[in-house]
Amino acid sequence: MNALAATSRNFRQAARLLGLDSKLQKSLLIPLREIKVECTIPKDDGTLATFVGFRVQHDNSRGPMKGGIRYHPEVDPDEVNALAQLMTWKTAVAAVPYGGAKGGIGCTPGELSRSELERLTRVFTQKIHDLIGINTDVPAPDMGTNAQTMAWILDEYSKFHGHSPAVVTGKPIDLGGSLGRDAATGRGVMYATEALLTEYSDHFRINLVIQGLGNVGSWAAKLIHQKGGKIVAVGDVTGAIRNKSGIDIPALLKHRSEGGSLEDFYGAEVMDAAELLVHECDVLVPCALGGVLNRENAAEVKARFIIEGANHPTDTEADEILAKKGVIVLPDIYANSGGVVVSYFEWVQNIQGFMWDEEKVNRELQKYMKNAFQNIKDMCKSQNCNLRMGAFTLGVNRVAKATLLRGWEA
């Protein structure tokens, strides 16, 4: 089941639990706007190249729409649609005043020079500048894009609308980006793990496995290690390693930053990457690709808890298998929402023209993550459902209430 089908299925299940009217359900599911634009640029060799850009704006009942822009050769309208919808529920769960959006350009960033990427970003911004904005739709980085991409969007947008730092988040600090933004999603994963373990277990005196050592996985590993969590295995696209006594995460991250690979790290032994997700542990934290937990491996999972640092790492069939095994899954729309929460803080700081110190950013993030977890637990009790449905019913309920209050049938 692809991401769109799974997201829609979770929405419908939540809508049934909430008893939403069928017409309201349909209204909430259909995107507000789908944008498709052609972006033609001159390449460095003088030839012309054409790329297709997308932006799906799903819902604006609770505030301006929010979501990343990804540069990837397989940018697919269905996936962008699913992720835009997911952002609507995610922002509602986190209680930040946004709706959901997502966008992308079908390209291979590694095959384009810096100047070609800049031209492509500027042309894309020219095509959509009148459809995004501080109070309309606020993009952010995603797969294949970064702070520099946001700087180009900000500059191009400002040519049409005047200086507008709040039009994008995830910007460089020197252009109004927020302190703490780089670590925000990984830090949010750590706070989510802390909230779950405080509820169910004995805090961080547990063994963890982390899949994925990109931005999210690296920060989550570093911060969980600082809290006293023992990370017994990690893996990325190059392979996987383990150490039953616990991996020295700061040493590993230093080793990788100096160009070393997992396999030549001195403090652990190489293991079969295929066994990482079913390794013996208390907590499994998938922080890489979607669909990694499926019917092929779910029955073999040994973890008691799964924290979804990635988007949609657990497919629907795996969800059912894990539920029967008694595995508690903390869903992505809560667990990895730290990034959008701190994006909200960045937007607020830009609008106010007053920047926060990093301590305040992290303190506010912890408060939002703690409150959201308690709200999910309350919803689980009232609806007699698991954490995934608790999160979805919380998010869908908030969006439905805002839609009804605004007078959606008028």
What is 185-251 written as a DSSP string?
Answer: HHHHHHHHHHHHHHHHSSTT-SEEEEE--SHHHHHHHHHHHHTT-EEEEEEETTEEEE-TT---HHH
102 catalytic, yes or no? yes
- In sequence order, the 6+-apart residues with CB closer than 8 A to the CB of 190 are 219, 220, 223, 224, 227
Kindly state the average pLDDT of the residues 383-408.
94
- Residue 125 known to bind ligand: no
Among the listed residues 102, 171, 222, 230, the single catalytic one is 102
Binned at pLDDT 50, 70 and 90, residue 1 comes out as low
Residue 267 has pLDDT above 90, yes or no: no
Q: What is the pLDDT of residue 291?
A: 85
To the nearest whole percent, how much of the chain has pLDDT over 70?
Answer: 98
The whole-number average pLDDT for the span 344-356 is 97
**What confidence score (pLDDT) does residue 203 get?**
66
Question: pLDDT at residue 202 above 80?
Answer: no
Q: What is the pLDDT of residue 261?
A: 87
Q: Would you say residue 314 has pLDDT above 80? A: yes
pLDDT band at 255 (very low <50, low <70, confident <90, very high): very high
Q: Rounded distance, CA 405 to CA 384, Å?
A: 26
Does the annotation place 238 within a ligand binding site? no
pLDDT tens digit sequence for 58-112: 999 999 999 999 999 988 888 888 889 999 999 999 999 999 999 999 999 999 9
Residue 343 annotated in ligand binding: yes
pLDDT above 80 for 408: no
Q: What is the mean pLDDT of the chain?
A: 93
Which ranges of 336-386 would DSSP assign to H, the alpha helix? 338-352, 358-383
Question: Average of pLDDT values for 267-284?
Answer: 92
The bridge status of strand 99-106 relative to strand 65-72 is parallel
For the segment 155-182, what is each residue's pLDDT rounded down to a tens digit?
Answer: 999 999 999 999 999 999 999 999 999 9
What domains lie within the chain, and their CATH numbers? Answer: 31-164 (3.40.50.10860), 183-335 (3.40.50.720)
Is 215 one of the annotated binding-site residues?
Answer: yes
Of 5-9, 81-85, 113-117, the least confident: 5-9
Q: Quote the pLDDT of residue 372.
A: 98
What was the pLDDT predicted at 409? 67
In whole angstroms, give the CA distance from residue 301 to residue 305.
10
Is 119 in contact with 45 (CB distance < 8 Å)? no
Whether the CB-CB separation of 124 and 54 falls below 8 Å is answered with: no
- Cβ-proximal residues to 306 (8 Å cutoff; 6+ apart), any chain: 283, 284, 285, 286, 293, 314, 322, 327, 328, 329, 330
- When pLDDT is cut at 50, 70 and 90, the band that residue 216 belongs to is very high
Q: Is the pLDDT of residue 347 over 90?
A: yes
Residue with tokens 């799906």: 56
- Cβ-contact 333, 308 below 8 angstroms: no
Q: What is the chain's alpha carbon radius of gyration, rounded to the nearest angstrom? A: 21
Give Cβ neighbours of residue 48 (< 8 Å, ≥ 6 apart): 40, 41, 42
Read off the pTM.
0.93
90 marked among binding-site residues: yes
Alpha-carbon span 131 to 252, nearest angstrom: 44
